[in-house]
A = this chain, B = another copy of it.
Amino acid sequence: MSTLDTLIQDLVIANRILAREEVVDAYGHVSVRHPDNPERFLIARSLAPELVGPDDIVELDLEGRPVREEGRGLYLERFIHAAIFAARPEVMAVVHAHAEDTLPFGIAQGTKLRPVIHSGSFIGPEVPVWDIADRFGDTNLLVTDMAQAADLAQCLGRNNVALMRGHGFAAAARSLIEVVRLSVYLPRNARALLRAKQLGGEIRDLSPGEIAARNRGYSPYSVETWRAWEYWATKAGCGHLLTRPDDGRSTPPQG
């Protein structure tokens, strides 16, 4: 398969994993930057991620416009992806989702979301909360144009995740595998922190040095990372779509 075909297949797998792991339901989406043209990205047409197949993948530019004529509906919030790819050249993959256990941290002012478990380290030391009302007043909370999306991307800054008040989160990473892993462990880290708070006493966060050490050691095609990708894909019923790194994988390491 060509690099592009392999990447589209990986994007299908990513959609299915996020659905199976309950990061997305009917809503939420994942995208990947085009391997040949950094001004474009790939994302599904408007469809629940669990139902996405290769033919549902469309190519958009960094304003969120389809590159080819497209009769099918597109995600209303595709601008989130466009703005983050535009603002962050090193980012190769983006997720926007409403994973339930991340929501309370965008609503309550009392506890800041931060990494407390090692698998949560990839959310980074700082998780800003973006409130669409701050600049856009009373909206339907959806990010439906480039101005709103650019404002969200600015709030995200150099971080890996921004919570969106009353809505969900946006996550950015250097590869599809990374953004999926981050998105799966983000709600788990949120639950661990919520429950630690219920147990009382001082809470021991990951230190900045620990977060940095984990980040340094991370490689998207390591044996350890592949292990999770293979497992999640199998659980999601699409293990047969996997392209093993040692199968003469044509996807170049991303980022």
C-alpha gap A140/B217 in the complex (Å): 8
Asked whether, in the complex, the Cβ of A167 is within 8 Å of the Cβ of B117, the reply is: yes
Interface members, chain A 177-223 (any B CB < 8 Å) = 188, 191-204, 206-207, 209-210, 212-214, 216-217, 223
C-alpha gap A214/B100 in the complex (Å): 20
Which residue, of A140, A141, A166, A217, has the highest number of chain B Cβ atoms within 10 A? A166
A151 interface residue per 8 A CB criterion: no
Given contacts A227-B48, A231-B26, contact A204 B166 (CB under 8 A): yes
- Name A140's contact: one of B118, B140, B196, B199 (CB within 8 Å): B118
Specify how many copies of this chain sit in the oligomer. Answer: 4
Asked whether, in the complex, the Cβ of B166 is within 8 Å of the Cβ of A107, the reply is: no
Question: Residues of A at under 8 Å CB distance from B?
Answer: 25-27, 46-48, 50-51, 73, 76, 98, 100-101, 103-105, 107-111, 116-119, 121, 131, 133, 137-142, 165-167, 188, 191-204, 206-207, 209-210, 212-214, 216-217, 223-224, 227-228, 230-232, 234-235
